[in-house]
């Protein structure tokens, strides 16, 4: 999925930005090829310690790390009130770092979609900014795909979060090897494919389509809104956490009954863990839910994608055309 050589090949810029510095708003020059800004678009950070750890680890990977001035803002369960978080996104967009990495997910991004300056975000992407995150950041990824014209380059990247991944303490499992290597390769423009093992029954599958999706619950919250991307012939990727399989099935059935699944070339399922069993289940689980979806929908639904609320996750380019090829149980997603 990724090689450790990425760390050796990554070339940081000569000018260093001190960890803890705020993202500037007046510099309109091209960003440093390794400049990375951490910002908070959704949930609150309860402690600064994981953020500092994330910044140190990212700096060790060769990035010039800066922290947005409101990264530690707090307002109830949010990383600052809506105006603060909206201003943070726009501030990062104007600064246009090479990487705009969300601190964490949680909830809050969908509150901002109606107020986002999509033109400003598009300009940052044109200047080279890669917007990265997952979970609640799915709302941003899908908003970009809905409001901007998708081409041959990613509009954003489904990938790790600063605090949840790079800030994970050693006693909680620390940082695995695949995630940072894959992240560096993706941000350095070297990642061209990811591979994974899937279930039997898909040998010989070979489809091409635009990659989109993310967190299933967040994705469903956008259906019927102006921020829903109307992707036909796509490859839809999904993940979620703490959602019982019957809820996953219900959301997938809604996508099926709304005609969305039937318009896709394939569905890639990442991690769907964290749910609690119920005495009512009587053997019903995620496998049961997916089996029912397969019985009513002809679209190939593949499991095993290394993505979601798990320590090991790849980076996936949102909005680009990908090719999915399966040989036996070995799946390759290339772009």
User: Which residues are marked as active site?
Assistant: 135, 239, 309
DSSP state, residue 153: S
Closest CA to 131 of 94, 167, 102, 110: 102
Dihedral Cα 316, 322, 325, 330, nearest 10 deg:
-10
CB 145 within 8 A of CB 151: no
Q: DSSP readout, 285-313?
A: -HHHHHHHHHHH--S-EEE--S-SSSS--
Give CB contacts under 8 A, 24+ apart, made by 120-124.
120/90, 120/93, 120/94, 121/89, 121/93, 121/148, 122/148, 123/93, 123/96, 124/92, 124/93, 124/94, 124/96, 124/100
Tokens of 131: 């917007």
Beta-ladder partners of 66: 37
CA distance 245 to 54: 32
DSSP state, residue 156: E
Q: Is 182 helix (H, G, I), strand (E, B) or coil?
A: helix
For residue 66, what is the enclosing H or E element? strand 64-67
Beta-ladder partners of 194: 333
Tokens of 266: 């394939």
Tokens of 96: 């246009």
Strands 193-197 and 330-334: antiparallel
């Amino acid at each position: 999925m990724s090689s450790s050589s990425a760390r050796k090949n990554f070339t940081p810029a000569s000018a260093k930005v001190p960890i803890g510095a705020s993202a500037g708003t007046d510099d309109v020059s091209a960003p440093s090829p390794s400049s990375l800004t951490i910002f908070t678009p959704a949930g609150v950070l309860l402690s600064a310690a994981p953020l500092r750890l994330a910044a140190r680890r990212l700096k060790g990977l060769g990035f010039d790390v800066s922290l947005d001035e409101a990264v530690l803002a707090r307002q109830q369960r949010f990383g600052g009130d809506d105006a603060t978080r909206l201003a943070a996104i726009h501030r990062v967009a104007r600064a246009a770092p090479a990487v705009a990495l969300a601190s964490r997910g949680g909830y809050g991004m969908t509150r901002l979609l109606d107020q986002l300056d999509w033109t400003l975000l598009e300009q940052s992407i044109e200047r080279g900014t890669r917007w990265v995150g997952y979970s609640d950041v799915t709302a941003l990824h899908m908003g970009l795909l809905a409001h901007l014209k998708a081409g041959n380059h990613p509009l954003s990247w489904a990938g790790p979060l600063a605090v949840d991944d790079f800030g994970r303490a050693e006693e909680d499992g620390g940082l695995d090897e695949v995630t940072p290597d894959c992240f560096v390769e993706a941000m350095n423009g070297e990642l061209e494919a990811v591979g994974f093992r899937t279930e039997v029954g898909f040998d010989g599958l070979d489809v091409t389509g635009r990659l989109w999706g993310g967190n299933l619950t967040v994705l469903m919250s956008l259906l019927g809104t102006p921020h829903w991307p109307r992707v036909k012939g796509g490859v839809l990727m999904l993940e979620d956490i703490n959602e019982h399989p019957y809820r996953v099935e219900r959301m997938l059935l809604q996508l099926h009954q709304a005609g969305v699944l039937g318009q896709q070339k394939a569905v890639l399922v990442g991690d769907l863990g964290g749910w609690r069993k119920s005495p009512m289940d009587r053997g019903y689980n995620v496998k049961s839910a997916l089996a029912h979806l397969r019985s009513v929908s002809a679209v190939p639904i593949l499991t095993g994608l290394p993505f979601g609320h798990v320590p090991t996750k790849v980076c996936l380019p949102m909005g680009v055309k990908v090719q999915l090829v399966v040989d036996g149980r070995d799946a390759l997603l290339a772009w």
